[in-house]
């Protein structure tokens, strides 16, 4: 038998070395795992980060139009509320809604019995005064004959001076009475004419050529014209329409009469109607509600009105007319209006988003992409600008690319990073 006692120290040392090797291997494995995890985290962070790329646009030939936007309302060039100056019951309404009428056409008639009686009364009074005048003319003729007779007898001392004076006074008195009756005749004739006009008011006629836009009063209704003229129908000359476009106070300083203008309606946005701006009203419509111009208004109400006016937007009406031969444009339609300040056709253009800071000389800094992909800043002079597209006067050529901004494109997150190690589990 072998004696193993001599081998015990050697075995102990071998076991110790084996334990150290086992611990070192474990630590090495842990370090390797941590390194792999750190690498995965770094790659995930790199691949999932949002890359930044430049948005570019090409300088191309195009059109630029600089304009002022406004909203307007369409109305007939001539709009008349046809009313009645006579009181009474409407016996006939001779027009219908939408009917086209000519100037002088009969619109409606009002019961005219009262006016007819007033005319007959005035005519009778005139006839009465004329009869009185004829009577006085006969009296004057007799008085003049008597005075002539007294004058002849006085010449031969056959009558007294008092008789002649009496006959002469009778002649002069009769002449004065006739003059008075002449004035009464004129007054009676005026009364007859007034009564005849009032009778004519019972026949309501069209004052203009136009279209019946509304019938306010119906047949059989009684109207009272004592305090105000009641409206029977509303007529409008729709062959020419007027647009009042509300231009903000910030833009009104840029526009002036004579500038080109066009508008579209909501129902046909692809059909522009073109004309010329006729005028700009000198004050906004809110001036009609300004209580400060009324002497009877208290200071308190004036100050409150001024305060409310200052906090509201101010618009000035730009007025222009547009032909409407086919009647396509209707009353009170909304018009989307553009007043053209300037326009350029077939010019070099770039997006406004490409414009950088403006220099003291008026040029803009623009980032230009070279053929090698390098980006360089260049000073470019700009002409018209419609807030979307800008006209290039100098500094660029057709086909060059400019930077309009930065775009963000997020990558799709997945459980595996392309090109990286597979996920590890513990």
Express each pLDDT in 113-149 by its tens digit: 999 999 999 999 999 999 999 999 999 999 889 889 8
Q: How confident is the model at residue 300 (pLDDT cuts 50, 70, 90)?
A: very low
Percent pLDDT > 90 in the chain is 55
More confident residue, 9 or 25: 25
Model confidence over 162-191: pLDDT tens digits? 888 888 899 999 999 999 999 999 999 999
So what's the pLDDT on residue 12? 53
* 150 pLDDT higher than 60: yes
* 105 pLDDT higher than 50: yes
| C-alpha of 354 from chain center | 34
Q: What is the mean pLDDT of the chain?
A: 83
Rounded mean pLDDT of 68-84? 93
Strands (E), 352-400: 364-369, 375-385, 389-394
* CB neighbour list of residue 155: distance below 8 Å, 6 or more residues apart: none
Rounded mean pLDDT of 80-99? 91
Q: How confident is the model at residue 306 (pLDDT cuts 50, 70, 90)?
A: very low
> Which residues partner with 379 through β-bridges?
365
* 3 pLDDT higher than 60: no
* 352 pLDDT higher than 80: yes
Model confidence over 230-268: pLDDT tens digits? 899 999 999 999 999 999 999 999 999 999 999 999 999
The string of DSSP codes covering 204-262 is EE-SSSEEEEEE-S-TT-EE--SSS--EEEEEEEEEEEEEEEEEETTTGGG--TT-EEE
Rounded mean pLDDT of 342-360? 91
* 61 pLDDT higher than 90: yes
For the chain, which domains are there? 53-65+344-408 (2.40.420.20), 112-201 (1.10.287)
Q: How confident is the model at residue 14 (pLDDT cuts 50, 70, 90)?
A: low
Q: How confident is the model at residue 78 (pLDDT cuts 50, 70, 90)?
A: very high
Kindly report the pTM of this predicted structure: 0.63
* 23 pLDDT higher than 90: no
So what's the pLDDT on residue 299? 46
- The answer to whether 64 and 391 are in contact (CB under 8 A) is yes
CA distance readout (Å), 44 to 37, 129, 235, 295: 10, 119, 77, 79
H or E element, residue 107: strand 106-110
């Amino acid at each position: 038998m072998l004696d193993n006692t001599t081998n015990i120290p050697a075995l102990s040392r071998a076991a110790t070395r084996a334990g150290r090797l086992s611990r070192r291997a474990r630590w090495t494995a842990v370090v390797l795992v941590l390194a792999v995890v750190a690498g995965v985290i770094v790659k995930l962070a790199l691949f999932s980060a949002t890359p930044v790329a430049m948005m570019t646009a090409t300088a191309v030939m195009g059109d630029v139009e600089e304009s002022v936007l406004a909203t307007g309302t369409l109305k007939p060039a001539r709009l008349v509320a046809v009313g009645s100056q006579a009181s009474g019951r409407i016996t006939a309404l001779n027009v219908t809604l939408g009917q086209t009428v000519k100037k002088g056409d009969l619109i409606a008639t009002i019961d005219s019995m009262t006016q007819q009686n007033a005319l007959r009364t005035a005519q009778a009074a005139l006839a009465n005064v004329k009869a009185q005048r004829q009577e006085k003319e006969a009296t004057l003729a007799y008085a003049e004959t008597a005075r002539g007779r007294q004058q002849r007898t006085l010449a031969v001392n056959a009558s007294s001076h008092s008789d002649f004076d009496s006959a002469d006074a009778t002649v002069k008195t009769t002449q004065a009475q006739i003059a008075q009756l002449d004035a009464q005749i004129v007054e009676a004739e005026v009364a007859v004419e007034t009564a005849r006009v009032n009778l004519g008011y019972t026949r309501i006629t069209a004052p203009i050529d136009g279209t019946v836009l509304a019938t306010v009063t119906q047949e059989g209704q009684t109207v009272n014209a004592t305090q105000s003229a009641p409206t029977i129908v509303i007529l409008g000359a729709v062959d020419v329409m007027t647009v009042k476009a509300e231009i903000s106070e910030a833009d009104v300083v840029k526009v002036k009469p004579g500038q080109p203008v066009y508008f579209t309606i909501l129902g046909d946005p692809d059909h522009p109607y073109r004309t010329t701006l006729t005028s700009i009203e000198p004050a906004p419509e809110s001036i009609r509600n300004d209580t400060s111009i009324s002497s009877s208004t208290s200071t308190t109400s004036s100050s409150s009105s001024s305060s409310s006016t200052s906090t509201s937007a101010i618009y000035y009406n730009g007025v222009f007319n547009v032909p409407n031969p086919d009647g396509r444009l209707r009353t009170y339609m909304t018009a989307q209006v553009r007043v053209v300040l300037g326009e350029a056709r077939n010019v070099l253009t770039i997006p406004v988003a490409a414009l950088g800071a403006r220099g003291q000389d008026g040029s803009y800094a623009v980032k230009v992409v070279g053929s090698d992909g390098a980006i360089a800043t260049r000073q470019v002079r700009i002409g018209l600008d419609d807030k979307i597209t800008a006209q290039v006067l100098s500094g660029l050529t057709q086909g060059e690319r400019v930077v309009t901004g930065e775009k963000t494109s997020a990558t799709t997150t997945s459980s595996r990073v392309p090109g990286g190690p597979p996920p590890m589990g513990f």
